[in-house]
Amino acid sequence: MADVVLVKGSCPLDCQDTCSWVAHVDNGKVVKVAGARDHPFTRGVLCAKVKDYEQRTYASDRLLHPLRRVGEKGSHNFERITWDEAVGTIAARFGAIIDEFGAEALMPLFFLGSLGAVQHDALRRLFHVLGASRPTGSVCAQAGNVLAAEGHPRGFDPEDIVEAELIVVWGANLLTTAHHHWHFITEARKNNGARIVVIDPIRTRTAQAADDHVPIRPGTDRVLALGLANVLLREGLADIDYARDWADDVDVYLDEVVTWTPERVAAECGITEETVVSLGRQFGTARPAVIRSGVGPQQSVGGEAYLRSLSALAILGGHWKLRGGGMFAEAYPEFDIGAAAGIDLVDGDPRHLDIARMGPLLSDPDLDPPIKGLMVWNMNPAIALPDSATVAQGLGRVDLFTVVVEHFMTDTARYADIVLPSTTQLEHFDILGAWGHHYISVNNPAITPLGETKSHGEVMRLLATAMNLEHPALKASDEQIAAAALPENVDLDQLKADGWHKISPPAVAAPGSEAKLHLTGPTHEAQPPPEPDMLQMLTPKGQFFMNTSFANMSRHRKAMKHPILEMNPTDAAARSLTDGQQVAISNDQGVIVSALQISDAVRPGVTSLPGKWWAFPTETAAVANILSPSAWSPGGQPAYNDIYVHVTPAETSQTPSRGDGPASPLHP
Ligand SMILES: Nc1nc2c(c(=O)[nH]1)N[C@H]1C(S)=C(S)[C@@H](COP(=O)(O)OP(=O)(O)OC[C@H]3O[C@@H](n4cnc5c(=O)[nH]c(N)nc54)[C@H](O)[C@@H]3O)O[C@H]1N2
Ligand SMILES: Nc1nc2c(c(=O)[nH]1)N[C@H]1C(S)=C(S)[C@@H](COP(=O)(O)OP(=O)(O)OC[C@H]3O[C@@H](n4cnc5c(=O)[nH]c(N)nc54)[C@H](O)[C@@H]3O)O[C@H]1N2
Ligand code: SF4
Ligand SMILES: [Mo]
């Protein structure tokens, strides 16, 4: 091992931890990736998903060459072509679409498959210059975006959580989804004797590690937050003057708070009155307390109502006054994604299209111009968007020209006309911001790209040349694209050498008199199931998958075993279901099949199907979004958790299907 070269890089995935890693390269091959030991968050450990990231790079099913579709859309019938053919075809088709329908008929569709400035933003430059439709919205934490746009603080330096005396982890499964944040929570416990309380309908791994677990009825978080505020008010623990510094509707807010007595709250939330009173007292007396919110409960029609109620409670408790107190949802280093993406390249005002509604938009007969050319990267919309049948219908349109840039033949890539093979994080240079801390991270390439894979910067340059686009921003190197996002005081060479750079945030303070917040806003209360025997199905993150990623990797699949629906013993008994049996999970949108796990870790009335499984292979095709409604919060967050289902024994040979469709889950 004497010749092993160590290369500083970082995990690209859509996770709040943005870990720094060290790639061990032996003779041109990565033999290991290890967490950076001296990074204050990473602390030498990568998660269960990424600890062997090199296996993703070297996977036998990795896409290594451009492909052209030769079979039906959605099938797996492709032939290998050269980059010249691929780029020539795309340039010609995009050009023809612009000529016939205008540039707005082109749509780039991407999410956070990689957080890197090159992999996330380089291709956007091309679409900005072309004048294509501009993606807007989010499929992840849109409620947070809405609240932030109104001025609500979303977070502070998460390392300060060590100062807190009470940490309320409210709808986040940190040990699975962002386990490096847990370091600071346990340090608060060790240093200050902090209590950790988890509010979650499921007794998650995180709930098991906490001091208390409040198994709330989903969708009633706003009511619980009002109930805790009620306790603060009654017991003289509310900091009303401080709340008035922040908000202009404190009286309206308090008028509602007084109506939510602990008794009424307990009945609505399905928890005990004592829990409400005791948690309210703890929250009022801890100095400070912090609410650590999650994304799961935002993924509901009541998403913004949930987050606003938590923000209001943190303010009423006066917790922002002290370091480590308030509410933490997200945190960002200073990082100019817009500069990497070249948003100033846009001429005029092309329309915005909401990525969260891409299913309906792709098949909207009234959309003018219709979307005729689609380029997808960093996203697997066939699995990740709500109401998969509508998405499949849109992606399956024969008149839609689709390019998918990917590492693997995902369900979305199967709908492509042209598939382009992308480099993985071990093969390209990139710089990353973050959404869970304040570090900027570098990713130095560890090896040369495998096969004919290319970085998104290179794909952009090739397409720009083929389309005769001369703008200098389309000739920028990957390093220049990434460096455009850096704040002025961060030196690129220093960053490459150090691996990361922290930009400490300013302390959060009450807004000025001009910019007061609203503690009240649109609400949406939890509804009873549409039919009495239906159960709510939550779709939390899988421990060994990253969203839809790794669902094709054998180690990760083995660790996840197979799709598992968790159900409370009472609900299983009412349906005469037994542990381990195959069940059909259905509603009028379709049916998926899973094994049943009977467990009191989920509360009665609620089931849970963790992980985003692909539609292929069909044995494990429990694509939860076949069953999710075409429904969004007022701010546009897909309501992934507002799914209601019947659960019955599966017929022996049952395969997933859409409501009225044939056997295959996603395409006709
Ligand atoms: N292992 C792993 N890690 C990941 C990901 C992954 O797929 N796998 N994905 C990454 C991404 S993109 C994101 S956005 C984050 C998400 O991180 P989290 O928000 O932590 O993840 P979720 O599992 O979506 O939701 C968290 C919890 O919310 C609970 N919940 C659902 N509805 C309600 C409700 O109405 N009220 C309350 N109080 N709780 C509710 C669920 O039971 C779940 O345990 O994780 C990131 N990290
Ligand atoms: N029912 C339900 N639906 C959900 C959720 C849920 O909890 N329940 N969660 C929602 C949330 S929070 C999110 S964030 C979304 C996530 O949905 P997606 O963004 O679609 O999921 P990912 O798997 O993170 O990334 C998508 C793809 O990016 C690819 N990728 C990674 N790196 C690169 C790269 O460098 N280049 C290219 N070209 N491709 C790359 C991966 O191979 C992967 O196929 O799903 C949402 N959908
Ligand atoms: S997925 Fe998150 S926890 Fe895992 S290595 Fe990447 S950044 Fe770290
Ligand atoms: Mo997400």
Give me the pLDDT at residue 229, please. 98
Q: Which residues are bridge partners to 594 per DSSP?
A: 583
Domain borders along the chain are: 5-57, 67-139+339-502, 144-328, 535-649
Give me the pLDDT at residue 397, please. 97
Report CA(215)–ligand 3 centroid distance (Å): 27
Specify the residue with its C-alpha closest to ligand 2, atom 12.
140
pLDDT band at 660 (very low <50, low <70, confident <90, very high): very low
Give me the pLDDT at residue 658, please. 53
Hey, what are 441's tokens?
């991270």
Task: List all residues whose CB is within 6 A of at least one atom of ligand 2.
Answer: 12, 14, 111-114, 119, 139-140, 295, 299, 377-380, 384, 405-408, 410, 422, 539, 541, 546-549, 624-625, 628, 640
579-629 pLDDT, tens per residue? 999 999 999 999 999 999 999 999 999 999 999 999 999 999 999 999 999
Give me the pLDDT at residue 76, please. 86
Choosing from 18, 110, 120, 548 the residue with most ligand 2 atoms within 8 A of its CB, the one to mutate for a pocket test is 548
CB 597 within 8 Å of CB 661: no
Q: For residue 320, is pLDDT > 60?
A: yes
Helix or strand (DSSP H, E) at 562: none
Hey, what are 454's tokens?
């290319």
Pairing verdict, β 166-170 and 289-293: parallel
pLDDT band at 664 (very low <50, low <70, confident <90, very high): very low
Report CA(491)–ligand 2 centroid distance (Å): 31
CB 102 within 8 Å of CB 369: yes
CA distance 22 to 546: 20
Residues of the chain with pLDDT > 90: what percent? 94
Which residues, by Cβ under 5 Å, contact ligand 4, an ion?
140
The strand ranges marked E within 274-386 are: 289-293, 326-328, 352-354, 373-377
> What is the CATH number that goes with domain 144-328?
3.40.228.10
Report CA(548)–ligand 2 centroid distance (Å): 5
Q: For residue 657, is pLDDT > 80?
A: no
Residue written as tokens 């990957």? 478
Report CA(110)–ligand 2 centroid distance (Å): 9
Q: For residue 178, is pLDDT > 60?
A: yes
Please state the separation of Cα 383 from the chain's center in Å. Answer: 13
Q: For residue 146, is pLDDT > 70?
A: yes
Q: Of 2.40.37.10, 3.30.200.210, 2.130.10.10, 3.90.550.10, which CATH number belongs to 5-57?
A: 3.30.200.210
CA angle, residues 326, 331, 337, in degrees to nearest 5: 150
The CA-atom distances, in angstroms, between 105 and each of 96, 235, 305, 339, 407 are 11, 59, 35, 24, 26
CA distance 644 to 666: 20
Give me the pLDDT at residue 667, please. 42
Give me the pLDDT at residue 75, please. 85
Compare 2 and 131 and report the one with higher pLDDT: 131
Question: In a 3-state reduction of DSSP, which class is residue 261?
Answer: coil
Q: Of 1.10.3720.10, 3.10.310.70, 2.40.40.20, 3.30.360.10, which CATH number belongs to 535-649?
A: 2.40.40.20
CA distance 647 to 563: 14
517-555 pLDDT, tens per residue? 999 999 988 889 999 999 999 999 999 999 999 999 999
Ligand nearest the Cα of residue 638 is 2
Pairing verdict, β 195-199 and 212-214: parallel
Hey, what are 321's tokens?
């006054």
Average pLDDT (325-332) is 98
User: From the alpha carbon of 47, which atom of ligand 3 is closest?
Assistant: 4
Give me the pLDDT at residue 527, please. 87
**Among 227-231, 405-409, 551-555, 657-661, whose mean pLDDT is lowest?**
657-661
Report CA(94)–ligand 1 centroid distance (Å): 38
Q: For residue 408, is pLDDT > 60?
A: yes
Q: Of 3.40.50.740, 3.40.640.10, 3.30.70.370, 3.20.20.150, which CATH number belongs to 67-139+339-502?
A: 3.40.50.740
Contacts of 345 (CB under 8 A, 6+ apart): 125, 128, 129, 471, 473
pLDDT band at 439 (very low <50, low <70, confident <90, very high): very high
Contacts of 6 (CB under 8 A, 6+ apart): 22, 23, 24, 25
Compare 55 and 660 and report the one with higher pLDDT: 55
Give me the pLDDT at residue 512, please. 85
pLDDT band at 661 (very low <50, low <70, confident <90, very high): very low
Q: H helices within 11-114, ranges in order? A: 54-57, 83-101
Specify the residue with its C-alpha closest to ligand 3, atom 3.
47
35-52 pLDDT, tens per residue? 999 999 999 999 999 999
Report CA(148)–ligand 3 centroid distance (Å): 25
Q: For residue 668, is pLDDT > 50?
A: no
466-518 pLDDT, tens per residue? 999 999 999 999 999 999 999 999 999 999 999 999 999 999 988 988 899 99
How many residues belong to the chain? 668
CA distance 40 to 315: 29
Give me the pLDDT at residue 514, please. 83
Q: What are phi and psi of 637, to 5 degrees?
A: -80, 125
Report CA(383)–ligand 2 centroid distance (Å): 8
Specify the residue with its C-alpha closest to ligand 3, atom 8.
19
DSSP per-residue codes, 136-156: E--SS-HHHHHHHHHT-----
